[in-house]
Amino acid sequence: MTTKKRLTPGLIRKGIAITFIIGLFTIVGLLFSSTTPATWRSLRMIHPKNICLMVGVVVVSWLVEGWRVKTIAYLLGEQISFLDTLRINLATIFSGNITPLYSGSVPTQVYLLHQQGISIGKASAIVTIRVTFTSLLVSIGGPFLLFLFRGKLLNEIGLVGLAGFLNYIIIGALIFAGVLLFFLFRPTKGSFLIKKFFRLKPVQKILGPSAETYCQKLLTEWEEFRASLSTLAKDKILPLLFVIFLTLCSWLSTLLMAPVVMMAFGVNIHGKIFRILLLEYVIYFLLSFVPIPGGSGVAEIGFFSLFAIYLPKHLQAISVTIWRLLSYYLNTLVGGVCFLRLFTAKHEKH
Question: What's the CA gap between 232 and 131, in Å, rounded?
Answer: 16
Closest by CA to 149, choosing from 275, 34, 56, is 275
For the cut 80, the answer to whether the pLDDT of residue 161 exceeds it is no
DSSP, residue by residue, 133-201? HHHHIIIIIHHHHHHHHHHHHHHHTT-GGGHHHHHHHHHHHHHHHHHHHHHHH-HHHHHHHHHHHHTSH
- Expressed as residue numbers, the domain containing 182 is 9-349
Is 76 within 8 Å of 232 (Cβ atoms)?
A: yes
Give per-residue pLDDT as tens, 311-343: 999 999 999 999 999 999 999 999 999 999 998
Is 83 inside any structural domain?
A: yes
Give per-residue pLDDT as tens, 241-287: 888 899 999 989 999 999 999 999 988 888 888 888 888 887 787 77
Is 7 within 8 Å of 95 (Cβ atoms)?
A: yes
For the chain, what percent of residues have pLDDT higher than 70?
78
Is 285 inside any structural domain?
A: yes
Question: What's the distance, CA 253 to chain centroid?
Answer: 12
Q: Which residues make Cβ contacts (< 8 Å) with residue 260, sequence separation at least 6?
A: 50, 53, 54, 57
For the cut 50, the answer to whether the pLDDT of residue 135 exceeds it is yes
Give per-residue pLDDT as tens, 175-191: 766 776 676 666 667 67
When computed from its CA atoms, the radius of gyration of the chain, rounded to whole angstroms, is 21
Is 88 inside any structural domain?
A: yes
Centre a 10 Å sphere on the Cβ of residue 286 and count the other Cβ atoms it contains.
13
> Reduced to 3 states, what is the DSSP secondary structure of residue 269?
coil
Burial readout 87-108 (b: 16 or more C-beta within 10 A, e: otherwise): bbbbbbbbbbbbbeebebbbbb
Is 248 inside any structural domain?
A: yes
Global pTM value: 0.79
For the chain, what percent of residues have pLDDT higher than 90?
27
| 237-to-123, 234, 247, 252 alpha-carbon distances in Å | 21, 7, 15, 23
Is 256 within 8 Å of 36 (Cβ atoms)?
A: no
Closest by CA to 299, choosing from 313, 312, 315, 280, is 280
- Residue 144, judged by CB atoms within 10 A of its CB (0-12, 13-18, 19+), counts as middle
Closest by CA to 71, choosing from 213, 314, 245, is 245
Is 2 inside any structural domain?
A: no
The pLDDT value recorded for residue 184 is 64
Is 304 inside any structural domain?
A: yes
The pLDDT value recorded for residue 294 is 73
The pLDDT value recorded for residue 50 is 93
Identify which has the larger pLDDT, 301 or 12. 301
Does an H or E element contain 90, and which? helix 82-97
CA angle 196, 2, 10 (to 5 degrees): 120
Question: What's the CA gap between 319 and 325, in Å, rounded?
Answer: 10
Question: What's the CA gap between 192 and 173, in Å, rounded?
Answer: 22
Is 4 inside any structural domain?
A: no
| 137-to-75, 127, 256, 311 alpha-carbon distances in Å | 20, 16, 17, 29
In the chain, how many domains are there? 1
Question: What's the CA gap between 239 and 110, in Å, rounded?
Answer: 22
Question: What's the CA gap between 198 and 202, in Å, rounded?
Answer: 9
The pLDDT value recorded for residue 203 is 77
